[in-house]
Structure 1
Amino acid sequence: MKKLFSILIMCTLVLGLFGCGNSKVKESTAAASNDKENLDITVSAAASLHEVLTEIQKKYEGKTEAKLSINFASSGSLQKQIEQGAPVDLFLSASKSKMDKLQEKDLIDVDTRVDLLKNSLVLIASKEYKDKIKQLSDIKNMDVKISIGEPESVPAGKYAKETMEHYKLWEPLKDKIVYGKTVKQVAQYVESGEAVAGIVYNTDVALLDKSYKIQTFDEKSHKPIVYPMAIVKNSKNKQGVKKFMKYLSSSEAHDMFVKFGFDPIKK
């Protein structure tokens, strides 16, 4: 009887240990799963950041095993998506005003907001017109089209309008404008010949094939072109996003931004 009793106790202990071990395995698996989820980051970024962020994405995912999902569009469109509750962790805007609107509605974590980059504005012209157009005012007396982004939703378009107004060329040129939904589309319109000239960011020039940079506008002709970033308030992974933001401010990321024509803002 004592022997049987001892066997029963041993079985109970073994089962208990197995249960505990199994529980620890489950806890460990759950923790690993949570860690995996914490690496997943959804980013909404201005269209002008497409090339450089695509390269940064590859580098960061390779270094950290993170998974970045990046949605590129005009800053205005992205702002509205966030206002409508789109599941976004990090917003990278090409306009301070778009970020300001989200801040006014308490949709971003203000403590995480930081200015990351600067850019400049340029006039480009098609190959056919690169010797005929030397500056923006030359277009005034030509029967041609010029493209800019939609000022209400595309930051580059807003800066372009400010520049045209600064040089008193908005009224003479406004009926010649072909509007683009993104700054990339503006460049495409010039490349395809739908417009003979366009106003884009300096960072878009490297991507041109059939058109050329003609003029770099004085930065006094428009508001500063600054790219702020901030964590969206409803983000479920703020710690993971902070790690990515730290990387975006690193020297390695800065080198990539410079490679694509951006001017990183040093902290």
Structure 2
Amino acid sequence: MTRTLTLLLALTLGSAATAEQVTVFAAASLKTALDEIATAYEAASGDTVVLSYAGSSALARQIQQGAPAQVFVSANTAWMDVLQEDGLIAEDTRADLLANRLALVAHGPSAPVEITPDLDLVGMLGEGRLAMALVDAVPAGLYGKQALTTLDLWESVSGNVAQTDNVRAALALVSLGEAPFGVTYRTDALADPGVSIAGLFPEDSHDPITYPMAARTGQEALAQPFLTYLSSPEAAETFETHGFAVLGD
């Protein structure tokens, strides 16, 4: 019996007789990979997945305000910690799913650069802006500000930053040529042919980029089949194809 057929049978037998709908709140950087995974899950299970993407901070606040999500996948552990402290996620369903890298992305083709304290980022920008997700709230912006600060680049470049609501919006500014450079995840750059990766930030310049997932408290029955699928070999293959590192136990 093939692995895919085994998974299909497990999903079918583990589901209710009628199809279910699971609402997933997920960090914007997951969109390309998670859209593909959700389609495969729907085909295997017969259930419907409703995906809502935004910055992790915005999604966490929506859950705090009672938004009807069954699953939350954050782009950092801090926002998941907030919800756990509020009793809004089922702690025993929480798991670290993925890791990512932080990248300096450029509009169109770009010569590679080494991101060190000696990088003349202001000079590279010229009259342009550095596109970043909200630097005091959205994980990609938090990681980016932390990295630039560690490298002693933040003070010089902070006045040239264009902030956006989420990392995909920052990516779009660069892709469209509205900003010559931006700070996004590596996976975002791989998803958009309008940008190139100028360089990767040193991993020790910022906290580890970790994506935890969990079920909303009281929604475990609806959430667990999809959480299980996110940890499956099939989903792992898709995540890796899109540039994520899959975290194991």
Pick the TM interval, shorter chain.
0.7 to 0.9
Counterpart for residue 31 of structure 2: 50
Q: Is 1:222 equivalent to 2:201 in the alignment?
A: no
Counterpart for residue 151 of structure 1: 135
Deviation string 1:230-267 (CA, Å, 9 cap, x unpaired) is 111142xx223212111111111100100111101012
Q: Which moved more, 1:112-121 or 1:243-252?
A: 243-252
Counterpart for residue 112 of structure 1: 93
Gaps of 5+ in 1: 1-33
TM-score, normalised to structure 1, is 0.82
Distance apart, 1:81 and its partner CA = 0.3
| CA distance, structure 1, for counterparts of residue 153 and residue 47 of structure 2 | 48
Gaps of 5+ in 2: 1-15
TM-score, normalised to structure 2, is 0.88
Q: Aligned with 1:122: secondary structure? A: strand
Q: Aligned with 2:37: secondary structure? A: helix
Counterpart for residue 6 of structure 1: none
Counterpart for residue 72 of structure 1: 53
Aligned pairs for 1:92-111 within 5 A = 92-111=73-92
Distance apart, 1:135 and its partner CA = 4.5
Distance apart, 1:144 and its partner CA = 2.5
**Paired residues of 2:70 and 2:222 also in contact (CA < 8 A):** no
**Paired residues of 2:32 and 2:191 also in contact (CA < 8 A):** no
Distance apart, 1:207 and its partner CA = 2.2
| Higher alpha-carbon Rg | 1
Relative to structure 1, the CA distance from residue 127 to residue 61 in structure 2 (aligned partners, 3 Å threshold; closer, same or farther) is closer
Larger relative helix fraction: 1
Aligned pairs for 1:1-267 within 5 A = 35-36=17-18, 39-127=20-108, 130-131=110-111, 134-135=113-114, 137-141=119-123, 142-235=126-219, 238-267=220-249
Q: Aligned with 2:67: secondary structure? A: coil
Q: Aligned with 1:161: secondary structure? A: helix
Q: What is the one-letter code of the residue matched to 2:173?
A: Y
| CA distance, structure 1, for counterparts of residue 34 and residue 195 of structure 2 | 24
| CA distance, structure 1, for counterparts of residue 32 and residue 84 of structure 2 | 27
**Paired residues of 1:76 and 1:152 also in contact (CA < 8 A):** no
- Divergent runs of 4+, >3 A: none
Distance apart, 1:182 and its partner CA = 1.0
Q: Aligned with 1:241: secondary structure? A: helix
| CA distance, structure 1, for counterparts of residue 17 and residue 36 of structure 2 | 24
- Give the number of aligned pairs: 230
**Paired residues of 2:24 and 2:72 also in contact (CA < 8 A):** yes
**Paired residues of 2:191 and 2:242 also in contact (CA < 8 A):** no
